[in-house]
Structure 1
Amino acid sequence: MKTTTQAQRSAQLELLEAQLMAGRLDRRRFIRLAGALGTTGLAAITMADKALAIGANQAELRRELKPRYDYIVCGAGSSGSVVARRLAEDPGVQVLLLEAGGAADAPSILNPAVWYTNIGGPFDWGFKTMPRPGLNNRSIAMPMGKAIGGGSSINATVWARGHKHDYDHWARASGDEAWGYRHVLEIYKRIEDWQGEPDPARRGKGGLVFMQPAPDPSPLAPAMVQACASVGIPAFADHNGAMMEGPGGAAIANLCVKDGQRRNVPSHYLYPIMDQANLTILTQALVHKLTLDGKKVTGVEVEWDGQLRKIGAAREVVLSAGAINTPRILMLSGIGDATELKRLGVPVVANLPGVGRNFQDHTMVAACMWEPPEGLPPRNNSAEATFFWKSDPKLATPDMQPFQIEIPFSSELTSKRAVPTAWTIGPGIVRPESRGHLRLKSSNPRDEVEIHAKVLEHPQDMAAMRKAVELCREIGNAPPMKAYVKREVMPGPIKGKELDNFIRDAAVSYFHATCTAKMGTDKMSVVDARLRVYGIENLRIADGSIMPRITTGNTMAPCVIIGERLGEILRAG
């Protein structure tokens, strides 16, 4: 008889909650089914009442949609969910949160082990880059979440804070020390509910966001950490503690996974307050553009429930639509490079040439791959160990972040050589020098955005990636990995042009598109230190697009910090 695991029970229970909230299940049946999954009677009743209260409240708020709210937040991702929560904590403020996608209750979202199956699926915007020479004229997917939670609903669940140098750079770029590591560390400590080895100087306990080192990891993960140590990369118990204040190291990854289930950012920030009368959440709501009176934003034009509506904002609009959609909304509203706007036939409201420029992303090579003697089922998020290291000892900060991935993770070209049971170490660079840009095809909000990512076009990026491939091969073939290696599948000991072609054919996005509406003080900056859009009233941006430079590591946690910083700024007045 097949045994139901705790993770499976949690997944089933979460689906039942979603069905109850949406009115597809009644209270009595929910309580009975929850009990069959091992939930106590009182706990099942409490869960049912909360879900019913949320469902009834949000249904009523949608029916009675107001023509005007105090704040409109566009995008319910890793930053927008935080901003909406912090604004709605004031009961006197009416908040409207708009999300172009739908609910985040699909099995492929809830199960962190299959995050990669969401790429190109219904919960992904489906963006692709323009063919470029850095990728041997390939076009690659640029995944972005299209559901409540945004990227936090389809990513690999990794909580990576970034290096201390990242935030100190932000502070210098913005001219505001509150963006520096010292203050950001205090925010992290306040919001975290860290389940790993205690570190009171660096980690928080009891906050909103649950994370832990990958529990009961595949034996591949600790073996890779040991293999890193064997080549001189020190092992750490926590990849977000002291390790990210120095030259780097290897560790089991921090994951936002609980009882085998993904905990996306809305599960921490939005769900607990969705029964409040001052927070309205509209899904399947596509923002076309901002409405303006001169240079003052008055609200948004949004497509929802089959209609194009104009909804007002008495105080401010916050764009949290991500590094592709935020610049798109700005440009469609007449805010951007004047030459580009005129090409599109869009009246110029504010000439901000930095909108859509400074595009940055992390790049991974998919893949350096090994075939094991026997199958090794993936666990948790299928990517439980990582390391940060320098491609050149003279660098101030680690610029490489490979991840061990417990499946044959590959590009469309390297997949031809993949083995179904293989595991991967994906060489990754996280301090790219290449800079791309976005370009709208037309003034139609539904038209595609041209993403000129310029991946690997800076010589320093290729040099770092060569080093990353060589280092990953050394680690994968090191003695601590021997028990898990029958043979190296690819790339083998290739050099020169052959190695460069392998890299360009295998390169994929790390899913961390950022920096396209950067914070700063120079002429290419789009927002100031208080995230106000230059030259425009009542408009702020809070998402990964405001990063002056991309952080060292996965970007979900830094996007939460951006949301928290705007929350602080707005509360301070």
Structure 2
Amino acid sequence: MTIQADMDDHAPEPGGRESRRGPTDEPKPAYDFIVCGAGASGSVIARRLAENPDIQVLLIEAGSSDASETVLDPASWPLNLGSERDWGFQAQPNPHLNGRSLSMSMGKGLGGGSSINVMVWARGHRRDWDFFAAEAGDPAWGYDNVLDIYRRIENWQGKPDPEYRGSSGPVWVQPASEPSPVAHAMLDAAREIGIPTYEHPNGRMMEGAGGAALSDMLVRDGRRHSLYRAYVQPWSDRPNLTVLTETTVLRVVLEGKRATGVEVLRAGQVVTIGARAEVVLSLGAIQSPKVLMHSGIGDEAELGRYGIPVVQHLPGVGQNLQDHVSFGCTWEYSEPIAPCNSGSEATLYWKSRPELDAPDLLFCQVEFPVPSDRTAARGVPQHGWTMFAGLAQPASRGRLRLQSADPLSPLMIDANMMSDPADVATARACVELCRELGNAKAFRPFVRAEVMPGEVKGAALDDYIRDAAVTYWHQSCTAKMGRDAMSVVDASLKVYGIDGLRVADGSIMPRVTTGNTQAPCAIIGERAAELLRTAHAA
């Protein structure tokens, strides 16, 4: 089978060719490639494979269409949380968060997380990608090669910067449009306390100590430009690309140690669909490990608890769970200021300790109050803004565990946030820097008072941190790429010990990237597609 790319990276112009064929009603018995999950990685893979008209590609999505105003209107993203577009995962009560159980939202529908997130495009730090390359033993995962991919896939709408930005790719990226005065105040406050600012956050800023900038966003003509809409929608009229919605992948079908298809639940019926070449799991950091385990791939003791026959013992499946944990600090406006765009337009990365070689703190300014379930009781202003400040490189690690042999039964998610004492120390520095920013002179024209946490120290500050902690919804790393005993996939994203099966999504990250995970997942998708094309070329 020859898989050669008919590369067409140019994004369609507004009013140009759009999809003329919606998701298919009935699948064929078999396809060349089955891509499971139409999110940030799966959408990329399906499109790139389908660029060859001689192969048949199936893209499976558990959720439904993205044709909803709550998806397409950038300001409406919070309305998707807890809706039918959200998997609604819930972590176990965590003693390190004063017994709280966090909601861990993940996108369910065409576009996955890229259809319900805050649309931030953050590439990660140079150190992240060089770490990936070292763990994988493959320089193609390193920063220099990844930067080339970013330039190739972007259609950058800001000031030209050919060293770092591309202008002819499918991903429409633009700076926050006509941002709020408080977004500019954040950049002024950063400069006031000695943090450099940049014209955009995806170049030199993320090669060194960090800095502050207006956010890059996936918004086009005032509408969300998800990675599904960037990659798949302009290609979905092609006869060799089939998109199935409302179809849940239950397990990978294995013949011996080779993947030959998937078993899915569709319209109440369990159906098996064959894959002539390969199956790719791009279901995200919760569902991809879950499908692996229900397919007999995982820790033999874990599978044995529920009588699942072991096909391949891989103890790292479901381990190494990471996420960015955040602690909201809130100020009251002196006069109401309406949120602009998505309501999050400025971002900052910085170091908790000067000796670090890369940022370990992540800040996103949110133009409305964002309390946790616990800190809401402290009183939330009717009009205010939040510094959504968190740990970019957390030391704590969680895990996923089965609760049943039934593929439809939810996993137990032990997020284990803030369990490592190093995270508590970093969180203190994070909140202190957050307060220094928010109380800087630059904000005084807009702010009446700091609402929370206020001047708290010692045990009271630690208690605030544990009460305020929430997730950035950047769950990752649960089927990591690497070469040690806990690795699940190799540098080619092949599942160890299984032929014809790869994982390509945020779960393969050896560690969570420094920043929002949408853009790195697009890179994972591009790398996976390239690896598949190379492997199956004549």
**TM-score range relative to shorter protein:** over 0.9
| Equivalent position of 1:147 in the other structure | 109
Q: CA-to-partner distance for each residue in 1:497-532, whole Å, 9 max, x for gaps?
A: 111111111110101000000000000000000000
| Equivalent position of 1:330 in the other structure | 292
SS of the counterpart of 1:536?
coil
1:384 aligns with 2:345: yes
1:420 aligns with 2:382: yes
| Equivalent position of 1:37 in the other structure | none
SS of the counterpart of 1:340?
helix
| Equivalent position of 1:54 in the other structure | 21
SS of the counterpart of 1:388?
strand
| Equivalent position of 2:317 in the other structure | 355
CA shift, 1:199, in A, is 1.5
| Equivalent position of 2:360 in the other structure | 399
| Equivalent position of 1:23 in the other structure | none
State how far apart, in whole Å, the 2-side matches of 1:565 and 1:551 are.
16
CA shift, 1:191, in A, is 0.3
| Count of residue pairs the alignment pairs up | 522
Q: What amino acid is aligned across from residue 502 of structure 2 in structure 1? A: R
| Equivalent position of 1:202 in the other structure | 164
Q: What amino acid is aligned across from residue 345 of structure 2 in structure 1? A: E
| Equivalent position of 1:519 in the other structure | 481
1:95 aligns with 2:62: no
Q: What amino acid is aligned across from residue 342 of structure 1 in structure 2? A: G
CA shift, 1:419, in A, is 1.2
Q: CA-to-partner distance for each residue in 1:95-136, whole Å, 9 max, x for gaps?
A: 111000001122211111121222211111000111112211
Q: CA-to-partner distance for each residue in 1:385-438, whole Å, 9 max, x for gaps?
A: 110000011111100011110011111111221112111111111101111100
| Equivalent position of 1:40 in the other structure | none
Q: What amino acid is aligned across from residue 376 of structure 1 in structure 2? A: I
State how far apart, in whole Å, the 2-side matches of 1:571 and 1:328 are.
27
CA shift, 1:305, in A, is 2.1
Q: 1:261 aligns with which of 223, 236, 257?
A: 223
| Equivalent position of 1:369 in the other structure | 330
1:111 aligns with 2:73: yes
State how far apart, in whole Å, the 2-side matches of 1:472 and 1:148 are.
35
Q: What amino acid is aligned across from residue 340 of structure 2 in structure 1? A: R
| Equivalent position of 1:220 in the other structure | 182
Give the alignment's Cα RMSD to 1 decimal: 1.2
Q: What amino acid is aligned across from residue 411 of structure 1 in structure 2? A: S
Q: What amino acid is aligned across from residue 54 of structure 1 in structure 2? A: R
1:232 aligns with 2:194: yes
| Equivalent position of 2:233 in the other structure | 271
State how far apart, in whole Å, the 2-side matches of 1:212 and 1:490 are.
32
Q: What amino acid is aligned across from residue 425 of structure 2 in structure 1? A: A
TM superposition outliers: structure 1 runs of 4+ over 2 Å: none
- Structure 2 residues without counterparts, runs of 5 or longer: 1-13
Q: What amino acid is aligned across from residue 298 of structure 2 in structure 1? A: G
State how far apart, in whole Å, the 2-side matches of 1:488 and 1:361 are.
27
Q: CA-to-partner distance for each residue in 1:319-342, whole Å, 9 max, x for gaps?
A: 000000000000000000000000
**Higher relative contact order by CA 8 Å / sep ≥ 6: 1 or 2?**
2
| Equivalent position of 1:283 in the other structure | 245
| Equivalent position of 2:11 in the other structure | none
Higher helix share: 1
SS of the counterpart of 1:486?
strand
| Equivalent position of 2:3 in the other structure | none
| Equivalent position of 2:9 in the other structure | none
SS of the counterpart of 1:69?
strand
State how far apart, in whole Å, the 2-side matches of 1:528 and 1:461 are.
29
State how far apart, in whole Å, the 1-side matches of 2:339 and 2:129 are.
34
| Equivalent position of 2:421 in the other structure | 459
CA shift, 1:197, in A, is 2.1
State how far apart, in whole Å, the 2-side matches of 1:122 and 1:499 are.
36
Q: What amino acid is aligned across from residue 391 of structure 2 in structure 1? A: I
State how far apart, in whole Å, the 1-side matches of 2:528 and 2:500 are.
14
Percent pairwise identity: 54
Q: What amino acid is aligned across from residue 447 of structure 1 in structure 2? A: S
Q: 1:178 aligns with which of 140, 147, 154?
A: 140
* Deviation larger for 558-567 or 416-425: 416-425
Q: 1:189 aligns with which of 122, 132, 151?
A: 151
State how far apart, in whole Å, the 2-side matches of 1:249 and 1:235 are.
5
| Equivalent position of 1:298 in the other structure | 260
State how far apart, in whole Å, the 2-side matches of 1:386 and 1:277 are.
42
Q: CA-to-partner distance for each residue in 1:433-477, whole Å, 9 max, x for gaps?
A: 111100010011121111111101111111111111111111111
| Equivalent position of 2:508 in the other structure | 546
- Structure 1 residues without counterparts, runs of 5 or longer: 1-42
Q: 1:250 aligns with which of 196, 212, 218?
A: 212
